[in-house]
């Protein structure tokens, strides 16, 4: 795989339309091996449990994950890497170092969302449940559509949440250190529908859930405005990749959305998405795959640069009354030390790391009030459990139907593209055959013409020879 991708990455340039660190998807046949389900992940201690400040603030984790999903939108993952055993997680990363890692699992996809400078996810979303974490403590559990579950459910899911945390840390470390490669076009084509279905499910829950709607109405516009430039940039990048993947309809839709979002958030007009899709990538080493490209170089939001959001400041309200941030270093290695492994100066990380910690702590009460742990272990009444189970089942069924429809559409699109490629190949073969036939006919005609000229020359020569051999009188009559 690495050898097959080396040529693509070795010649990649850095057009302004590509997000920082993004590698263009490549045409490669890469089998996708699902990651193990949570039951097969290595054993880990159950996640400790913390209480949200309020019912509305419990949606802070899902709301920020949904905001990041909207930023990434229809753009392909920035890169993929080999996690071992054929498992190839895929990574998106913002210009201010928020990150999402997508992993295929049996029955769907698992998303891990990270804050700047942290190797443990603040949110994990799977086909059935979502988990909101703060510094390794489990704060909230959601169903597939984003509906918060009861405190009892939080306690019931703490064991699985601990495994997701440990697995998320391993994914994050590998995402920084493993060799990076562009995602396969076929893989992204199969995933697009499911990724979009998850965004729609979150959007529907935001609109129908009063607690989430209240939180989103207070903080959502500030989140959207902060990442507006990058969202526009990634829509333009998505349009270019769509064009490369021979999907002009989707390219036109992404381009139109980029223009509309630029007007909505008063961003500079997006650049044209024409031309081949090329992404940022360091020259490939001799072994093949692109070496890890650090994200801590010069910030991409230099003054006057188009399509990149300004440096994020403290979001109004989110950090209000936040506790004092401790000065100890984060547990992961990426933000420690003055330089990265390639010797380049790292981008200063103190501000986004502090902001992320303040945001987390603003939504927690530490420690939980007395008796809360016992209350969360108390099960709901049968009627409440039945209603909650029915509502969750309906939401899961709706999301499963959307994902099935998306997979069917992706399969139909893949068949259509395969048929188009086959038709183009047949047309090219017919054209080559016609060209060869025309060349053969021209050669035959030239050979016939040459043969005719040769016979004519021979006949003329025989005639001249006959005239010379016949004696004649002065009157022109042959002698007798």
Give dist(CA 145, CA 125) in Å, integer.
10
Residue 131 bridge partners (DSSP): 124, 141
18 has pLDDT over 70:
yes
Structure confidence at residue 158 as a pLDDT band (50, 70, 90): very high
Q: Which of 1-15, 331-345, 399-413, 460-474 has the highest mean pLDDT?
A: 460-474
Q: In this predicted structure, what is the pLDDT of residue 162?
A: 95
Q: In this predicted structure, what is the pLDDT of residue 425?
A: 72
69 has pLDDT over 60:
yes
- Residue 314's contacts (CB-CB under 8 Å, 6 or more residues apart) are 355, 358
Q: What is the mean pLDDT of residues 54-77?
A: 91
Q: What is the mean pLDDT of residues 164-183?
A: 95
Tokens of 322: 């936040």
Q: In this predicted structure, what is the pLDDT of residue 464?
A: 84
SS3 breakdown of the chain: % helix, strand, coil, rounded to 5? 50, 10, 40
Structure confidence at residue 332 as a pLDDT band (50, 70, 90): very low
Q: What is the mean pLDDT of residues 283-305?
A: 35
Between 337 and 315, residue with greater pLDDT: 337
Structure confidence at residue 57 as a pLDDT band (50, 70, 90): confident
Q: What is the mean pLDDT of residues 271-281?
A: 58
Question: What whole-number percentage of the chain has pLDDT above 70?
Answer: 63
Between 394 and 426, residue with greater pLDDT: 426
Phi first, then psi, for residue 213 (nearest 5°) are -60, -40
Give dist(CA 35, CA 103) in Å, integer.
7
Structure confidence at residue 472 as a pLDDT band (50, 70, 90): low
Q: What is the mean pLDDT of residues 159-188?
A: 94
Phi first, then psi, for residue 12 (nearest 5°) are -65, 135
Structure confidence at residue 297 as a pLDDT band (50, 70, 90): very low
336 has pLDDT over 90:
no
Q: In this predicted structure, what is the pLDDT of residue 178?
A: 94
Q: What is the mean pLDDT of residues 195-204?
A: 88
Q: What is the mean pLDDT of residues 145-158?
A: 87
229 has pLDDT over 50:
yes
Neighbours of 365 (CB within 10 A): 14
Give dist(CA 281, CA 241) in Å, integer.
16
Give the lowest-confidence range in 15-19, 73-77, 199-203, 262-266. 15-19
| Residues 175/91, Cβ–Cβ less than 8 Å | yes
376 has pLDDT over 50:
no
Structure confidence at residue 364 as a pLDDT band (50, 70, 90): low
Q: In this predicted structure, what is the pLDDT of residue 55?
A: 78
Between 14 and 352, residue with greater pLDDT: 352
389 has pLDDT over 50:
yes
Listed in sequence order, the DSSP H helices in 46-157 are: 60-72, 151-156
Q: In this predicted structure, what is the pLDDT of residue 157?
A: 93
Q: In this predicted structure, what is the pLDDT of residue 478?
A: 59
Is the model's pTM score more than 0.75?
Answer: no
Give dist(CA 19, CA 22) in Å, integer.
5
Q: What is the mean pLDDT of residues 279-288?
A: 38
Q: In this predicted structure, what is the pLDDT of residue 317?
A: 28
Q: In this predicted structure, what is the pLDDT of residue 103?
A: 95
The CA-atom distances, in angstroms, between 90 and each of 12, 101, 121, 183 are: 19, 6, 15, 7
Torsion from C-alpha of 447, 453, 458, 463, nearest 10 degrees = 160
Residue 105 bridge partners (DSSP): 108
Q: In this predicted structure, what is the pLDDT of residue 82?
A: 94
Q: In this predicted structure, what is the pLDDT of residue 80?
A: 95
Structure confidence at residue 175 as a pLDDT band (50, 70, 90): very high
Q: In this predicted structure, what is the pLDDT of residue 27?
A: 85
Between 192 and 124, residue with greater pLDDT: 124
347 has pLDDT over 50:
no
Q: What is the mean pLDDT of residues 226-232?
A: 92
- Residue 376's contacts (CB-CB under 8 Å, 6 or more residues apart) are 49, 151, 152, 154, 155
The packing angle between helices 185-208 and 382-469, to 10°, is 150
Structure confidence at residue 395 as a pLDDT band (50, 70, 90): low
**Helix, coil or strand: residue 249:** helix
68 has pLDDT over 90:
yes
Half-sphere exposure of 421 (CA within 13 A, CB side): 9
Q: In this predicted structure, what is the pLDDT of residue 190?
A: 87
pLDDT tens digits for range 72-99:
999 999 999 999 888 999 999 999 999 9
Structure confidence at residue 426 as a pLDDT band (50, 70, 90): confident
Q: What is the mean pLDDT of residues 301-328?
A: 31
């Amino acid at each position: 795989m690495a050898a097959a991708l080396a040529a693509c990455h070795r010649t990649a340039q850095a057009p302004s339309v590509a997000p920082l660190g993004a590698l263009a998807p490549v045409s490669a046949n890469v089998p996708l091996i699902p990651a193990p389900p949570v039951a097969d992940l290595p054993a880990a201690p159950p996640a400790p449990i913390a209480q949200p400040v309020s019912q509305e603030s419990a949606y802070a984790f899902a709301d920020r994950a949904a905001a990041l999903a909207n930023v990434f939108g229809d753009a392909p993952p920035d890169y993929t890497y080999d996690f071992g055993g054929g498992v190839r997680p895929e990574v998106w990363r913002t210009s201010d170092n928020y990150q999402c890692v997508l992993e295929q699992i049996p029955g769907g996809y698992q998303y891990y969302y990270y804050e700047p400078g942290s190797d443990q996810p603040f949110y994990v979303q799977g086909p059935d449940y979502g988990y909101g974490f703060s510094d390794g403590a489990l704060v909230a559990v959601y169903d597939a559509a984003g509906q918060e579950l009861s405190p009892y459910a939080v306690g019931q899911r703490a064991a699985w949440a601990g495994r997701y945390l440990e697995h998320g840390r391993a994914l994050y470390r590998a995402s920084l250190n493993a060799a990076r490669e562009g995602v396969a076009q076929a893989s992204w084509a199969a995933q697009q529908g499911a990724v979009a279905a998850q965004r729609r499910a979150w959007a529907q829950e935001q609109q129908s859930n009063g607690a989430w709607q209240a939180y989103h109405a207070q903080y959502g516009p500030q989140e959207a405005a902060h990442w507006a430039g990058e969202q526009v940039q990634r829509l333009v990048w998505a349009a270019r990749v769509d064009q490369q993947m021979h999907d002009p309809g989707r390219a036109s839709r992404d381009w139109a959305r980029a223009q509309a979002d630029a007007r909505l958030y008063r961003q500079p007009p997006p650049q044209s998405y024409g031309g081949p899709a090329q992404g940022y990538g360091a020259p490939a080493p001799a072994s093949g795959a692109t070496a890890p490209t650090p994200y801590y170089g010069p910030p991409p939001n230099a003054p006057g640069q188009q399509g990149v959001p300004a440096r994020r400041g403290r979001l109004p309200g989110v950090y209000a009354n936040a506790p004092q941030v401790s000065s100890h270093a984060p547990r992961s290695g990426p933000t420690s030390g003055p330089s990265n492994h390639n010797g380049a100066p790292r981008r200063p990380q103190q501000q986004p790391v502090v902001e992320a910690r303040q945001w987390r702590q603003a939504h927690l009460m530490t420690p939980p009030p007395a008796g809360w742990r016992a209350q969360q272990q108390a099960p709901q009444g049968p009627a409440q459990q039945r209603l909650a189970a029915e509502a969750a089942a309906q939401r899961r069924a709706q999301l499963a139907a959307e994902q099935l429809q998306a997979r069917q559409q992706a399969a139909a699109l893949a068949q259509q593209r395969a048929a188009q490629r086959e038709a183009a190949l047949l047309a090219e073969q017919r054209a080559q055959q016609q060209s060869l036939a025309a060349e053969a006919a021209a050669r035959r005609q030239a050979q016939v013409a040459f043969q005719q000229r040769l016979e004519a020359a021979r006949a003329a020569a025989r005639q001249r020879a006959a005239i010379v051999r016949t004696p004649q009188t002065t009157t022109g009559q042959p002698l007798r």
